[in-house]
Structure 1
């Protein structure tokens, strides 16, 4: 029996019976993330694990340096089961920091650098984080100073760790921590550390419609198995090379850019930000085999007119959230759509799958133990094969419970333990297998290039503006990000409607992350309502979509950019 070695109060664990079944079937991997890295380093010591424009780390180097850093974290007083906030970009230092935490049993709270007081403060309180990792050179915003202020406000945070810059009096520079151990002394420090496949690996965050992200525990053996499943689905093996330019701490970044590298020996090319020209150069130079996009990469690629100048013949597949047919025609390589949700389901299709599957669905699951049902929205009633409805799922990696949040858990699960995705899909049965096409969302949120914005959270902040009597936030279509936020507002008598810069400044002063702020404001006298008297957000979304289309047509007629 594989035991839970570091149980955490507030985390719901899989039953022993199910855990053993998943280990036997291969849906879980009987190892830890640190153990998987050590095995890959023994098999491929001199193979590049990560390649960036700044440096390349081989598997041996990555394994040794993460051992040294993990030992230093333990020396600070951190221990298995402790939590650490993460606000880091896509760099080698981020890979070192998160992998060192995994080896030390420290649980990253996988936040983003764009979060501010509102999000970080509540996440620290909910997770009781003991450390805070920040990147000094991420942007013009001073994350080091910000983290110092958060540490002063929250008693649980005892350690500030800074990458790519000076830590100041209150913190520790990552480079200094790396220098505290030799490889031998580090491995002696880590030798008897109790961490197992069923222990919590990370706290991932789920976007939602009603407030701050909910915390989703993910587990060592489960997460490795989840990644192995999608790698099979895309025909990725140890000879593959993946390119990644989006956040590394996201669930997608971890599953697509980190776990296959650890488990299979895949080489990952990391980019700190989206740069289409540089991405194409790196694909050509490093003979990348697989590209992945959950945000605005595909639209930028489609708009890039010089793509024919680059040798993309090494690419076996480029996967994106949508528009795979247009992207394939433009790039001249096989492309497929994908789907992912942090609550534990990944869908995709490989290059050899039928064109209809790759271009007109988001694919299928690569895990035989996943169960997917299509249900009538708002009910538990299962619809017949081939139906359109809410996709619900249950399996080896699916959510059992949000961390210490029974109310949100009850809302997220059906009576028989399936996760409600909140997404409408159509099931297509082809050659005896089910594939799922995304049709839209049921939940009140906005997906801005992969970042989820909860409408009710932002509406609550906007409503504090002295000029605004009421507000509703809706998604408006965008060719690059898929969706952006539009705020419909009712202005109080005697006040002027705020401009976008004024609104962003107001919301930022409240501690709201900038990417959540509305990017358009529409003033109305009243909101449309449904027949039962509720605000009709469907009508508001349709209205702004029609207005944008009209503005675009007028701009085209004038020969200018909309």
Structure 2
């Protein structure tokens, strides 16, 4: 399967942004050069979660395991172009499966383990998979049984039972695999994954991506995080989307890095792995970084000596957190902003030295006159447009939709007409609202999704603006705002808070007074407060604003 036109392939190749590397060929290269170097490490509680033993594989063993899985899939009838719906947590079998599919020319479509029968039917209806690959058990969920019930006409194979039943190191039919590879040579412009949009504003859509698209995102991530050959990367986010596939899987293949797996997020275990495995780089959830910043005694209990830097993202970061972790603890913070479709922006200590800028601003890549350097700036075009007229916005402080093109950007959604997805000249319309900002105005600041903006009597309010400030309120574990209906103004702001353990929630008056002291405009203040046990988040950790509004409509206001 290929989605890029010959013209796009030629242009990207001639510019040097796309090449001939494939995922499995990169692995094979490291297996030859550094066969005994560590390649992938399972989390220590894997058996408790899945009934499968944890593995530590070097590059030779990982290459052999991926070939073993490729041969098993081939024997079951999977070939080039076939689509596999995969529902697995972060385990070494999933990593090997990516490489195996790459070898066969098959396409992996990974989905979160949290999804149930309804979502399985949705995805399968669009993807038309040749098979579903999952687990017999994950925690208390019987994934394979659920998939078989939801998709009775699709083959469902459980790793550890139907595939790789004996784990790595089993014999397989090398001749049949070699014959298949000879008949179906891999191409870096072939689609290797169909990931899915996070679904915060609507039904998830399939995002086909080639090896070259993923490698472009990986190179941007590596440059921002200063990734280094052979280092140890701790991956706490599920290998189903841009953050983990582009931030960990493909960089580990490019650099021969050791990929340490963690999932689901368990902060004590995550911190233990970070120390025991001597991780040099990781991407941490903002909430965990906030906790480390607010509790110096917790930081001092841990040994972060091997760690170069933290990456983070998915929501605006706290400037106070960045100042604390960099200033007092000496660990740089890199703010990433990306998507499965190919958004690939980042804010680093070099491009945004002040915590206030790095917390919420990103360099305007590809815009003439900017001071930025490097491949990401040279290869990317970004623009802000009016959401209704499509006219370009060049003045600071005016919200508009971010549009982007470049080697990391996809060609279009699976089975979608393409209407409204791209501008007339081919830039992807991200659906994210940004405004040009900074002094000088060399940055973008995310102000929300096009459908997230709260309209209070004609005054437009960005929820993410208030979220960022609320994160610093003492005694809150989580906080976010959303709209609620008002007969006079149309919408007002509701603050949704999750108190920290053994902490009383603030009153609405206390919260508003604190927001005023932080400089929030009075018209943006919440006029309702709802206390929750947890905020609704999607599998990659983003607050699902629509679900939050549903919860608010059911709660009695404070």
Change (3 A) 1:191 1:104: closer
Rounded to whole Å, the distance in 1 between the matches of 2:32 and 2:453 is 45
Which secondary structure state, in structure 2, belongs to the residue aligned with residue 81 of structure 1? coil
Instruction: Write the distance in 2 (CA, Å) between the matches of 1:487 and 1:441.
Output: 13
1:416: how far off? 2.1
Q: Show the counterpart of 1:543.
A: 494
Alignment of structure 1 residues 84-233 onto 2, 5 Å: 84-152=84-152, 155=153, 157=154, 159-164=155-160, 166=161, 172-175=162-165, 181-182=171-172, 184-185=174-175, 188-192=178-182, 193-208=184-199, 211-233=202-224
| Bigger relative contact order, structure 1 or 2 (CA pairs below 8 A, ≥6 apart) | 1
CA displacement 1:307-344 (0-9 Å, x = unmatched):
11222233222121232533331443111322111111
What residue in structure 2 maps to residue 402 of structure 1? 413
Report the secondary structure of 2:347's partner residue. Answer: coil
Shift of 1:415: 2.3
Report the number of matched residues.
Answer: 465
Distance 1:483 1:410 in 2: 35
Match of 2:256 in 1: 265
Greater shift in the superposed pair: 340-349 or 173-182: 173-182
CA distance in 2, matches of 1:343, 1:28: 17
Residue 448 (structure 2) aligns with: 440
1:210–1:333 CA distance, 2 compared to 1 (3 A): closer
Give the SS at the match of 1:174.
coil
Residue number in structure 2 paired with 1:292:
283
Cα deviation 1:365-401 (Å, max 9, x = unaligned):
5522110011223331111164543211111222322
Q: CA deviation at 1:191?
A: 3.4
Secondary structure class of the residue paired with 1:393:
strand
SS, match of residue 420 in structure 2? helix
User: Which among 302, 319, 327 is matched to residue 321 of structure 2?
Assistant: 327
Cα distance in structure 2, aligned partners of 1:388 and 1:555: 30
1:43 aligns with 2:33: yes
Question: Residues of 2 paired with 1:429 and 1:485: CA distance?
Answer: 25
Partner of 1:522: none
Deviation at 1:19, TM superposition (A): 1.1
CA distance in 1: counterparts of 2:532 and 2:294, whole angstroms: 14
Q: Is this contact kept in 2: 1:374–1:391, CA < 8 A?
A: yes
**Cα 1:359–1:46 shift into 2, 3 Å:** same
Aligned counterpart for 1:280 among listed residues 271, 285, 296: 271
Tell me which residue corresponds to 1:339.
337
| Offset of residue 90 of structure 1 | 1.1
CA contact 2:71–2:174 (8 Å) conserved in 1: no
How far apart, CA to CA, are the structure 1 residues paired with 2:13 and 2:236? 32
- CA drift of 1:181 comes to 3.7
Offset at residue 18 of structure 1 (A)? 2.3
Q: Is the 8 A contact 2:207 2:341 kept in 1?
A: yes
Could you tell me whether the CA contact under 8 Å between 1:209 and 1:445 is conserved in 2? no
Provide closer, same or farther for how the CA distance between residues 98 and 482 of structure 1 changes in structure 2, counting only shifts above 3 A. Answer: farther
Question: TM-score of the superposition, structure 2-length normalised?
Answer: 0.74
Kindly state the Cα deviation for residue 93 of structure 1 after the two structures are TM-superposed. 1.6
Q: 1:210 to 1:547 in 2, by over 3 A?
A: closer
Q: 1:363 to 1:286 in 2, by over 3 A?
A: farther
Partner of 2:427: 418
Note the residue ranges of structure 1 that are not aligned, 5 or more in a row.
1-5, 8-12, 167-171, 447-473, 489-526
Q: Deviations over 1:118-170 (max 9, x none)?
A: 21102111111111111233221211210111231xx3x2x222135x4xxxx
Tell me the distance in 2 between the aligned counterparts of 1:359 and 1:547. 22
Q: How much has 1:207 moved relative to structure 2?
A: 2.9
Secondary structure at 2:234's aligned position in 1?
strand
Q: What does residue 525 of structure 2 align with? A: none
Q: Distance in 2 between matches of 1:442 and 1:555?
A: 28
Write the distance in 1 (CA, Å) between the matches of 2:234 and 2:303: 15
Task: Give the whole-Å Cα distance in 2 for the aligned partners of 1:323 and 1:209.
Answer: 19
Q: Any gaps of 5 or more consecutive residues in structure 2? A: 45-53, 366-374, 455-462, 511-530, 534-558
CA contact (8 A) 1:50 1:58 kept: yes
Distance change (3 Å), C-alpha of 1:91 and 1:177: closer
Question: CA separation in 1, counterparts of 2:379 and 2:302?
Answer: 40
For residues 263-309 of structure 1, the C-alpha deviation after alignment (integer angstroms, 9 at most, x for no partner) is 12122221122232333333333332212135644344445541112
Question: How far, CA to CA, are the matches of 2:506 and 2:477 in structure 1?
Answer: 20
Deviation, structure 1 residue 202: 0.7
Q: How far is 1:98 from its partner?
A: 2.5
d(CA) in 1 for partners of 2:392, 2:56 = 50
Tell me how far apart the structure 2 counterparts of residues 341 and 529 of structure 1 sit (CA, whole Å). Answer: 36
